[in-house]
Amino acid sequence: MEAPEIFIPISLESIEPVIFPDVALYIKTGSNHVLYKSHGRDFSYHDHERLSNNGVEFVFVSKDDMDVITSHMEESAERLLKSDILNSRAKGKMIYQTSINFVDDMFSNPDKTTDLERTKRLIENLMLYLSENPDAIGSLETVMSHNYHTFVHSLQVTSLTLMMHSEAYTLSRDEMLDVGSGAILHDFGKIFVPPEILGKNGKLNDSEIEILKRHPEDGYTFLKNKGVLSPVSLTIVRLHHERCNGSGYPLGLEYRDIPRSAQITGVADIYCTLTTDNQGNKTIPPHIAVQLMRNQMKELFAPNLLDTLEKLVCTEEVQQFIL
Ligand SMILES: [Fe+2]
């Protein structure tokens, strides 16, 4: 029997008509994927408009076509970000989609993690978008469905980590690229966690938790052996679950021994986990999440980092976005 075709959702707003690679596009009706445009036919501005007017947010492509789509989107990203063709929201969708494709690609093809130039190009484009859109934090919305949770989450954590660094510290461009590269791969070690544990509905038992807790060290060891990531990026991968009171893992380090970039990624990681569920839905509003981190997770995070987080996420625009 033939294996069922796997479809990947692509946000409609991230698609540039006419020059988008010539692949078959599908739309979802109920639980079926229906062919919208076959290979060999252009996807025109008219098509784009028609779908958009009909409230279509995602089109679907075959997983086999993802390579060509990912390279196209990565190649076009910088040009589109700098142009006026797309409005700020569409630019956000485009950069998020590009980043998610990237993380998906890295997680499915671990050998590609040696392409550091590609990682840096992506982080650079993400930084460009974040720096030109002061309210970008408000649009850290999910663009994917639940099976993409890890990828969407990696991207949200990266965006917030970069923004917290630029809000509170002065880093050189290269340092920011290192921080971003580490943040986008922070959960890379999850490729070593069995899918039945990662995707388990309900509580994990003790032995499953132990396995899950190996992901920072496993990711670090794998990426270190690849020999391309900088020490800062590797530190983020390894230490993003360390906590100020020493209760974290894998090393149980205390506040002063946890590098700042790993602490910030840890704060961003928990904040994004609290505010978005596994299905990609918003859960609790930003100010409640920050309050929770201050009160119920009191000794886990440095108070000055929580101040920075609060300053970024508890703005009026973000409140409006949530309501
Ligand atoms: Fe993690």
Between the CA of 182 and the centroid of ligand 1 the distance, in Å, is 12
Predicted pLDDT of residue 214: 97
Is the pLDDT at 141 greater than 60, yes or no?
A: no
Between the CA of 269 and the centroid of ligand 1 the distance, in Å, is 7
79 versus 137: the higher-pLDDT residue is 79
Between the CA of 206 and the centroid of ligand 1 the distance, in Å, is 17
* Average pLDDT taken over every residue of the chain: 87
- The 10s digit of each residue's pLDDT in 75-130 is 888 888 888 877 887 888 788 888 888 888 888 889 888 888 889 988 988 888 88
Between the CA of 166 and the centroid of ligand 1 the distance, in Å, is 22
Between the CA of 208 and the centroid of ligand 1 the distance, in Å, is 15
Q: Write 85-94 long-range contacts (CB < 8 A, 24+).
A: 85/16, 86/13, 88/132, 88/133, 89/13, 89/139, 90/13, 90/14, 91/129, 91/133, 92/129, 92/133, 92/136, 92/139, 93/11, 93/13, 93/14, 93/143, 94/11, 94/13, 94/14
Between the CA of 288 and the centroid of ligand 1 the distance, in Å, is 22
Spatial separation of the C-alpha atoms in residues 110 and 82, rounded to whole Å: 31
User: Which domains are assigned to the chain?
Assistant: 1-63 (no CATH), 87-322 (1.10.3210.10)
Between the CA of 241 and the centroid of ligand 1 the distance, in Å, is 6
Between the CA of 239 and the centroid of ligand 1 the distance, in Å, is 9
Is the pLDDT at 30 greater than 90, yes or no?
A: no
- The 10s digit of each residue's pLDDT in 283-295 is 888 999 999 999 9
> pLDDT exceeding 90 applies to what percent of the chain?
49
Between the CA of 186 and the centroid of ligand 1 the distance, in Å, is 6
Between the CA of 240 and the centroid of ligand 1 the distance, in Å, is 6
Between the CA of 33 and the centroid of ligand 1 the distance, in Å, is 33
Between the CA of 60 and the centroid of ligand 1 the distance, in Å, is 29
Q: Helices in 227-302 by DSSP H: which ranges?
A: 231-239, 260-275, 286-295
Hey, what are 109's tokens? Answer: 């093809």
Between the CA of 27 and the centroid of ligand 1 the distance, in Å, is 33
